[in-house]
């Protein structure tokens, strides 16, 4: 439920903390529309953000370009979940994949690794020839997925991963896909910006429904059927 008692410490910077206890506090933050960030990968501290505008991708209004659809239809990759969480979050923070600056520091990484061990944070991976070429990580609460970051080591890898994730979440009857802030990349795929009031209403509705984060394995025929149906549905709505 929304509105759990939120410690006022949640809005302060934290430099040292017990990660297990702090993970519980952070979950309360997400329940109240607040999320953690840092000023850079080399900073120890984190702070909490409660923006007036919020980025989301409506699960039933995703833009999928023809070229991206062709890439998906090749099926020359494997999509999984929770097979390489640490590798995904470390890659999202790495300069190796073009991130000169990032808000993902060691504190954030340790925090989300703990949330992953609690079954709350998840990674979605894309593999080609048994090599990890992209991924997304985020937090799943109720029927809301809070997408934190993604990386790509090959053209369209993170986009393909995102479409798979959106399709599986919609099939699992998730209600809200939170992307925090709008970027040109996410806007091109259907991301929109909504007011804090509208976001909090959607968040409340989404958190009231307790859905399980879906297992993702693109090598399974059932998964491919879900994706192909989703591609057709998004095409029909465009």
pLDDT digits (tens, 9 = 90+) for 40-98: 888 888 899 999 999 999 999 999 999 999 999 999 999 999 999 999 999 999 988 76
Tokens of 66: 């023809």
Which domain range does residue 89 map to?
53-101+120-237
| pTM metric for this prediction | 0.91
Domain membership flag for residue 33: no
Domain membership flag for residue 153: yes
Domain membership flag for residue 124: yes
Domain membership flag for residue 208: yes
Rounded CA-CA distance 44/19 in Å is: 13
Rounded CA-CA distance 124/137 in Å is: 6
pLDDT at 9 over 60: no
Domain membership flag for residue 94: yes
């Amino acid at each position: 439920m929304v509105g759990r008692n939120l410690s006022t410490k949640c809005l302060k910077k934290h430099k040292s903390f017990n990660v297990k206890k702090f993970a519980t506090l952070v979950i309360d933050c997400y329940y109240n529309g607040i999320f953690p960030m840092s000023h850079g990968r080399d900073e120890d501290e984190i702070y909490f953000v409660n923006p007036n505008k919020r980025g989301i991708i409506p699960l039933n209004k995703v833009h999928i370009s023809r070229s991206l659809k062709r890439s998906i239809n090749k099926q020359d990759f494997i999509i999984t979940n929770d097979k390489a969480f640490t590798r995904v979050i470390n890659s999202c923070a790495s300069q190796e994949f073009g991130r000169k600056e990032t808000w993902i520091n060691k504190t954030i990484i340790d925090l989300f690794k703990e949330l992953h061990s609690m079954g709350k944070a998840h990674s979605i991976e894309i593999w080609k020839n048994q090599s990890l070429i992209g991924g997304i990580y985020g937090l799943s609460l109720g029927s809301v997925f809070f997408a934190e970051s993604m990386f790509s080591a090959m053209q369209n890898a993170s986009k393909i991963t995102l479409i798979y994730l959106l399709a599986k979440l919609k099939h699992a009857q998730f209600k809200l896909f939170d992307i925090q802030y709008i970027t040109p990349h996410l806007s091109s795929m259907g991301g929109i910006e909504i007011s804090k009031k509208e976001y909090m209403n959607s968040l409340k509705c989404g958190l009231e429904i307790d859905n399980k984060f879906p297992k993702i394995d693109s090598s399974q025929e059932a998964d491919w059927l879900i994706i192909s149906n989703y591609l057709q549905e998004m095409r029909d709505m465009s």
